[in-house]
Amino acid sequence: MIAGKVVRSIVLLACGLTSFRVSGQIPQSGLDAKYDKFHDWTIIRSTLAKVENSIRPDRDDTPLTLHLAYVCKGDTSHCRPVQVEAILMVQTINWRYKDYRTLVLLWTTPRVNGPAKPNRIMAEPNWNPYVNPGGSFNDESMTADIPLIDFLQLAKAEEVEGELGNTTFKLSKENLEALRAVAAEIEASGKGK
């Protein structure tokens, strides 16, 4: 499956360690598309943005950041992926997140008639370490696959709360804008490839 191989590519891309041909910024979306000619796929990703109220019981206030990514076959950003990857990143001294294997996202969907409908996504993120040579911090990323149908519902939320291990957080305005931008790009592709 492409997704398993892409996780490592996305982490390297986020850290600036790969040489992709730049397909460029997708106009008016805040998304970036990078084509990899060796694998013949394009990685579409949102800008990295901090989540709000990231709280750990040990009072460590190291901020989590989030970006979203999906992959299209070929040199295009227009496809309907099976899933969208939610990538949470943090800089730590001693690999605080390596044993956290559950990501939970909660939100409500407004209804025309009746009370709001509660929604939940539970995912098992993959942990990817990156040792920062010569630096005092290491980078950790936790990548969770969100099925497209769930992601498109999540993108409609006005507020999203999350839990990763024992860390709780709330998606920021920038995170919510990224959700909507990714969903709009996917929806604009129609049936796609």
pLDDT in tens, 142-190: 999 999 999 999 999 989 999 988 888 999 999 999 999 999 999 987 6
Alpha-carbon span 159 to 121, nearest angstrom: 14
pLDDT in tens, 10-51: 444 444 433 333 456 665 568 999 999 999 999 999 988 888
pLDDT value at residue 21 = 37
